[in-house]
Structures are given as C-alpha cells and as structure tokens.
Structure 1
Amino acid sequence: MNSSNTNNGQSNNGKSSRLDGINRDLGLYFLELARLRSSAAPTEMEEDEEEAPKELNTINSSGGFLVVAPDKLSVKYTTVNLHGHDVGVVQANKPAPVKCLLYYFEIYVKDAGAKGQIAIGFTNEGFKMRRQPGWEVNSCGYHGDDGLLYRGQGKGDAFGPTYTTGDTVGGGINYASQEFFFTKNGVLVGTVCKEKEMKGRLFPTIAVHSQNEEYAFLLVHVNFGQKKFAFDLKASWFVCYFILFIFYLQIYMFDALHQEYEAQERLKRQMTIEKISLPPNISYGLVRSYLLHYGYEDTLSSFDLASKSTIPPVYVAQENGFDEQDIGYALNQRKILRQVCNCLTIHSAVL
C-alpha cells in the first residue's frame, strides 16, 4: 500500500466527475467527500500533490553522534554514550503527508548495540536534534529499551514491549482518528491520541543512543511504501474508511432526522392554526382597523362596499370614541396631505 497521499485533482469542474468515478470504493468516496467539504486549506494548496519522505535528512541531524550512510538509508551511532544529550537523531527529508488517511513508515534494527537505546517516532521541524523523540514538546516516540511511549511530558507511559536486534518497528499517523500508532514485527502495538497542542508538520524520526546501534529501514532500505511493509496496512485503511463512513452516515442521519423533525413541527403548528376559528366580523374588523389607521380611504370604501352584503357592520370608530363622520373627515385630510407632500417632493426634485 503506497503511503503517499492521493492527488486532489486539477480543477473544481473535475471534482464531481472524480466523485462519480470512485463511487465503487466507498472509503475513497468519503475521503474525497471530506476533502471537498473542507475549507481549512487554500485551494492552491489542495491542488498541489504532497511529496512523501524518501530518505534520511543528512543536513538536519545530530551529525556529531551518528553517521548516515551515503545512500541515506541507514544510520549508525558513533559516540561512546557518556551523557543523556549525546543522542544521534535524524529526521526524514520530508514531513509526513497530511492529505491522506494514514501515513506509516518502518525501520529494521540490524544491531541494537550494548544498551538498545533506540527510538522511533515523529518530531516537528524545530525539534532539538540531540534529544530522543518524545522528550521534547511537539514530538512523540516509542522507545526500544524500555517499551515506553514519550509525548513531550518528561516521562514515559507504559505502552508496549521492548524491541532490539532483528526487530522491525513501524510508526504511523491515523489522520481519520487523529492518533499515532506503532507496530512491532507486523503486529500493532498500540495507539495514542495525537496531542492537539502539537504544532507544525511532523517528520518521521529515529534516534540511536548506544554503541554499535545500526539502523536500516526494511533490511537497509528506507520504506515509505515502495515495498511491502511487515505490517499489513490494508486492515488499517479499512478501519479508516469505516470511521469516515460512520462519521458521514451520522451527519446524514442527523440532517435527515432534523429535517423530519422540523417538518413535523411545521405541520403541527399549521394544524393548530387551522383549528382556530375566527368569526368573519373579527377578521373584517382587523382589516378595517388597519385601513383606518394608515389612512387608505379609497381602499376602505371599496372594502366596505364589497363586504356590505356578507359581513355585519363593525364600527371601529365608535369603539375608539369617534364617529364615522369624524374618521371620514380625518381620512380625507390625510389624503390631501399625502398629495401635497408628493407634489412638494416632485417639485424639489425638479428644482
């Protein structure tokens, strides 16, 4: 299984067609759907294909304590190991890609040395290259001499078995569940939640701190997916797909249930309103009061004329202490006032 990320595509116009093309693979469908719905990264970045790590970084390493082979695929500790800070640390040449469900790499321990102080993990770009991964913030490391997991908190947590000469150990990031996971000889050792406080891109990192320690990634060669891993990633990919499927299924079901609930509530309110029976004279009185209040004399006259044969007369003016003659006079005066205001507005606009 290739650990590099899937290309995001070339244009927005092609995204829908790509979705149609991968419907046969439900996991890839939900992965693509997650990318399309995410607005966290700029479009320009989404269009670029990430470059996965391919070799060890000979520049950013604690070169005084280790030697990286010319092929940049193995490293050997060269110091006596007198102090806690004379650790040989080396990162991969690229950070772990993030536009994928899983990232994973493995190391093969050819010689664990006298003390077996070996570590595998992930560190950020600013990590101190004389410290074991997990000893500093923004790092995580699974240590071979004691089997502890370190996450930048000063002390390790019980995690898994120790590992030594002849063992193949792997480290990975599950982006779907936001977890680190580690393996030994093709078997999953355990997982741990990725700290939210971890900042920056994470680099695959190995550390050696014991004489005669010699690393080789999968029998002397780096393996970032070019060859078959000792650990079967297919099952892990299936789990990630399943997690995404459940996640989006929950969203879909929640939306559907919410829409159904709102529809039922609207129906209940509508039925409640329809059960309310208003006598014709009440609705007639409301409309007539509105026309009176806003001075719509002509509309009021037409309304009274149209309703005369079907609705009993309601004299709102009398209820307010005024007779119909006073109201009619007031309506006429307000009509004249509106006409004057309109004429003044037109006259001012012409001037």
Structure 2
Amino acid sequence: MVHTNQELIGSYFVDLWKQSSRAAADMEVMKKEAEESEWNPTELNTVNSAGGFMSVSPDKLSVQYNNVNFHDHDVGVVQANHPAPVRRLVYYFEIFVKNAGAKGQIAIGFTTEGFKMRRQPGWEANSFGYHGEDGLLYRGQGKGDAFGPTYTCGDTVGGGINYASQEFFFTKNGVVIGSVYKDVKDPLFPTVAVHSQNEEITVNFGKQPFVFDVKSYEAQERAKQEKTIEKVSLQQDVSFGIVRSYLVHYGYADTLKLFDMASRSSLPPISIIQENGFNEKDNEYALHQRKAIRQLIRNGDIDGAFGKLHDWYPQVVQDERSATSFLLHCQKFIEVVRAGRLEEAVMHGRKEFEIFYLQREYEDLIKDCAALLAYEEPEKSSVGYLMKESQRELVADMVNAVILSTNPNKNVKDVNYYCLHSYLERLLRQLTGCYLENRSLNGDQGETFHLSRIMDNNCYKKA
C-alpha cells in the first residue's frame, strides 16, 4: 500500500512540475490569448442594418436619420460589429446625442443576432432598449415600462451588462439610472436606433474615455460580492481549525507553536472541537521530522535531506527509480548549478539521470535541467523557473506528502484526501468548483475564475 501511495504521490508532483515548466507557461499564454481573443465591439455593422432610413459615417461610429418616418417599422437601427464579450464582470458602451431631431426617438440597448432590423430595440423578443423620447424601458414587446428620465440633444447615455448580477443597466450623463434582469443567455449585440428626421448620435465602444466611470462601478460590484461573502459567519474554532490544519499538514512546526500560543491567550481561548471535523492532534505525525526535512530542501541542502530520509524513512528513498528519488536528484542538480559548480552538476547528471532518461515521463524535465548549463545567467533563461523558490517548495511538498503516507496509524486509502492536500486547499477547490458551476448556470458568462488573482487582490488591499 505504501509503495502504491508513493507512486501516486510521485506522479502527482511530476505532473505539477510539468505544469510549471515551459509547456505549462505556453499553455497559460494560450489560455490568456483565448480569453483575450473574444472580439470586442469596435464599430457599427453597416452590412446588417436598416440602411434605407439612416446613414453611417465613414468611421462607422456615427448614425444620422436621413428620411421621414411614416410607419413604426421605418426605424434606422444598427448593431455593433460583434456581440458584447462575456468573459468579464461588466460590458459597457455609450452614445452621445448630437441632434434629437424631430421627435427624439433615439434608443440604446441590446439585441440578438436574428433581430429584425426595422424595429426599435426592445420591441421584439430577446431585445432590450432604453428610449429617449419617453424614458421607458422596452423588454421584448411594444409596451414599455417606466424606467428613467428622457434624454435629448447633448446627453450621453450608456448601456451595460453586469454578468455577476445578470442584469442590464443604463446610465445618463455618467450616472446609473436603473437596471433590469437579463433573461437572455444568447450573444447580445450593442444596438442603437434613430427614428425621426435629423436625429444623429455618435457611439463610443471604449476607444474614447467613457463619461461613466466603469472602473468604479466594477469595484463597487466586487465589493458587493465580498460583503455578501463576509456575511457568512464561521465559528472561531472552525476558522482556527482550518488554518491549523494547513500548518500541521505542511510541517510548519514553529509557526504552529506560535499559532497555538496565540489561540490559548485569546478571549475566549480557542480549542480544537472534534465536532467541527478537525482532528489535527492525530494528524501531527512526524511533524518535527517533516519540518526539518522541509527546511533542508528550502535551504538547498538536498544531501542533508537525503541523509535524514535514509535515517528516518528509508522506505521513501529505497527505490532509486521512484519519482521521489528523481525529483530530489533533479533539485540537487539545480542547486549545484545555482552554486556555479558546473562540472559537478554534469557529473551528478550523468550518474543520476541515466536510469531516468529513457522513461518518457521524465525526458522533458531532464532536458530542462540540462538546459541550465547552457546559460551564463540561468535564472533569466527560458528554464529559469527551476531556479525559483517555488521549485524547492514543490520538492519539499512532495517529500512531505510521501512521509505522511508512511503513517502507520492512518489507513491511507485516499492519498488525495490525506497526503496531498490540507483541509484549506480542499475548501478552495470546492470554492472553485462552486464558482465554475454558478458560471455554467449563467451560460458561461462572467469573469473566468482565477483563485490566484483573488488572493493577490485581497493581499494587496490588506497591505
């Protein structure tokens, strides 16, 4: 069982290394490019428009009604060239009314791809429009609802989508005037309309600064989300148990000691309550040994770590072909390169990597290590990630997990549950899963979830 667990743990951390390698970096770039590849509306679509009743300027950002309307369907309506992007918290655009014309029948809103281009936005199903002459909001039918003030010549009016709340919102001269639930999951095109002689508007898709402060609005929306989360209270001993479990799991014995001292001196004192699901006293297996080995690895003393493992847990390193041995030998190679002892690094690589080189799962990683020798400043090279502290931490985490798997008091049937992740990390995984599920229910609309970004933002605020 132990041997099987060690293989699973080793494979897990080898995969983690691959994710932090150049291939993973390329994947992150591709992921970022995929997110940024969403086309943003940049101009008006003169092909799909009611061109007989209006003219669009050469820059495709101004619209003028140049006819006389005799019927309701004599509308000059035009969509943006792309639908509103959805992988974000908020999308927003504005219009400026240069001329209210004969009747001021101007509208701003959102419509789907199959919208009838001879109708005002909001008059047809799956369309929404805020109209200037009456201030009404039209939602898929000819009858509007009381919504906001009218707007006319000289006014700047905006339309936006809040993907977090799944709402449309509209602004006038930089102030939000109202919002309404967005019950459409299909792609939505920013849409404008003019409907009486000489009406003229210009459209701003973000090339020029908006009158409305979108950044502040986004910050307020994030603050609302955080406030909602903060309303969920946790008993003090529960949050204490979560933090303590993290320290115990990774062998941070010194910090754990200070943490326990602080908990006993708090008012009231905090104690571990077994009913909350934490039983960390039973999980402190090899705490001080794990601490000592972790510190050796973090200091780059891999020979010292090997020595302690041979003395305390020989079963961990007895298989010279194991992933545990491989990662430790790789880290020894990295540390020798870091010290500038290149000849020693070559000798070490030839001796220790030979048995791993023909194993395909290790081939690329060995090549990355060997590539360090080709650079005068390897930390600035394409394989510089190997010289970072995170690489030491990865190896230390692996050794920590393998030692935990040797606990004779634990029936370690689920390596992932006990050895690889603390309670805190499992909770964060659950948080990620819930966020993604909620986003899926919203038609995959809204910001993509990046836990690291959330953590960085919170750390920045507290700093």
TM-score calculated relative to the size of structure 1: 0.57
1:228 aligns with 2:239: no
Q: 1:213 aligns with which of 192, 199, 219?
A: 199
2:197 maps to amino acid: Q
Identity across aligned pairs (percent)? 62
| 2:223 counterpart of 1:242 | yes
Q: Select the residue among 152, 155, 158 that pairs with 2:143.
A: 155
State the one-letter code of the partner of 2:107: A
CA distance in 2: counterparts of 1:158 and 1:173, whole angstroms? 19
CA contact (8 A) 1:127 1:136 kept: yes
Q: Distance in 2 between matches of 1:92 and 1:207?
A: 11
**Residue 121 of structure 2 aligns with which residue?**
133
In structure 2, do the counterparts of structure 1 residues 226 and 140 end up closer, same or farther at CA, with 3 Å as the change threshold?
same
Q: Distance in 2 between matches of 1:247 and 1:231?
A: 25
Question: In 2, Cα distance between the equivalents of 1:241 and 1:12?
Answer: 30
Task: Read off the aligned partner of 2:92 and give its amino acid letter.
Answer: Y
Structure 1 unaligned runs (5+)?
1-10, 19-35, 37-42, 218-222, 268-351
Structure 1's 131 and 247: CA in aligned 2 closer, same or farther, altered over 3 A? same
The residue aligned with 2:61 is 73
Question: Alpha-carbon deviation of 1:150?
Answer: 0.6
1:201 to 171, 179, 187: 187
| Deviation for aligned residue 1:245 | 2.5
- Find the partner of 1:190 among 173, 178, 187: 178
CA distance, structure 1, for counterparts of residue 106 and residue 52 of structure 2: 17
Structure 2 Cα separation of the partners of residues 168 and 55 of structure 1: 17
State the superposition RMSD in angstroms.
Answer: 3.3
Question: Any idea what the Cα deviations from partners look like across 1:32-79, whole Å, max 9, x if unmatched?
Answer: xxxx9xxxxxx7995552121111111010111111111111011122
Residue equivalent to 1:276? none
What letter matches 2:87 in structure 1?
K
Residue 228 of structure 1, CA deviation:
1.6
Native 8 Å contact 1:136 1:152 kept in 2: yes
- Asked if the contact 1:124/1:199 (under 8 Å) is kept, the reply is no
Structure 2 counterpart of 1:170, from 154, 158, 166:
158
In structure 2, the CA distance between the partners of 1:175 and 1:79, relative to structure 1 (3 Å rule), is same
Distance of aligned partners of 1:176 and 1:70 in 2 relative to their CA distance in 1, 3 Å threshold: same
- Cα shift at 1:161: 0.5
Q: Which residue of 2 aligns with 1:142?
A: 130
Taking a change above 3 Å as real, the CA distance of residues 53 and 253 of structure 1, as seen in their structure-2 partners, is: farther
- TM-aligned CA distance change 1:45 to 1:253, over 3 Å: farther
The 1:97–1:252 alpha-carbon spacing in structure 2 relative to 1, beyond 3 Å, is farther
Aligned position for 1:264:
275
CA distance in 2, matches of 1:91, 1:164: 21
Question: Is the 2:171–2:178 contact (alpha carbons within 8 Å) kept by the matching residues of 1?
Answer: yes
Pick the structure with greater CA Rg. Answer: 1
- 1:90-144 deviation line (CA, Å, top 9, x unaligned): 0111111111111111111000111110100011111110110011111110000
Distance 1:144 1:263 in 2: 63
Larger deviation, residues 152-161 vs 227-236: 227-236
Provide closer, same or farther for how the CA distance between residues 121 and 101 of structure 1 changes in structure 2, counting only shifts above 3 A: same
More strand by share: 1
Alpha-carbon deviation of 1:251?
A: 7.7
* 1:119–1:208 CA contact under 8 A, matched in 2: yes
Counterpart residue identity of residue 213, structure 2: D
How far apart are the structure 2 equivalents of 1:124 and 1:12? 39
Q: 1:252 to 1:115 in 2, by over 3 A?
A: same
Name the CA shift for 1:65/1:45 in 2 (closer, same or farther; >3 Å): same
Aligned residue pair count: 225
Separation in 1, partners of 2:133, 2:35: 43
2:221 aligns to what SS in structure 1?
Answer: helix
1:214–1:202 CA distance, 2 compared to 1 (3 A): same
CA contact (8 A) 1:176 1:243 kept: no
* Mapping 1:55-74, distance limit 5 Å: 55-74=43-62
Name the aligned partner's letter for residue 199 of structure 2.
E
Go from structure 1 to structure 2 and tell me whether the alpha carbon gap of 1:96 and 1:159 turns closer, same or farther (over 3 Å shift). same
Cα–Cα, structure 1 residues 138 and 77, in superposed 2: closer, same or farther, change >3 Å? same
Q: Distance in 1 between matches of 2:129 and 2:123?
A: 8
Structure 2 residue ranges without an equivalent (≥5): 1-17, 243-272, 279-463
Q: CA deviation at 1:215?
A: 1.1
* Shift of residue 186, structure 1, vs aligned partner: 1.2
Q: Distance in 2 between matches of 1:106 and 1:12?
A: 42
Choose which of 51, 58, 80 in structure 2 pairs with 1:92. Answer: 80
The alpha carbon displacement at 1:191 in A equals 1.0
Instruction: Determine the C-alpha separation between the residues in 1 that align with 2:122 and 2:19.
Output: 40
**Change beyond 3 A, Cα 1:194–1:63:** same
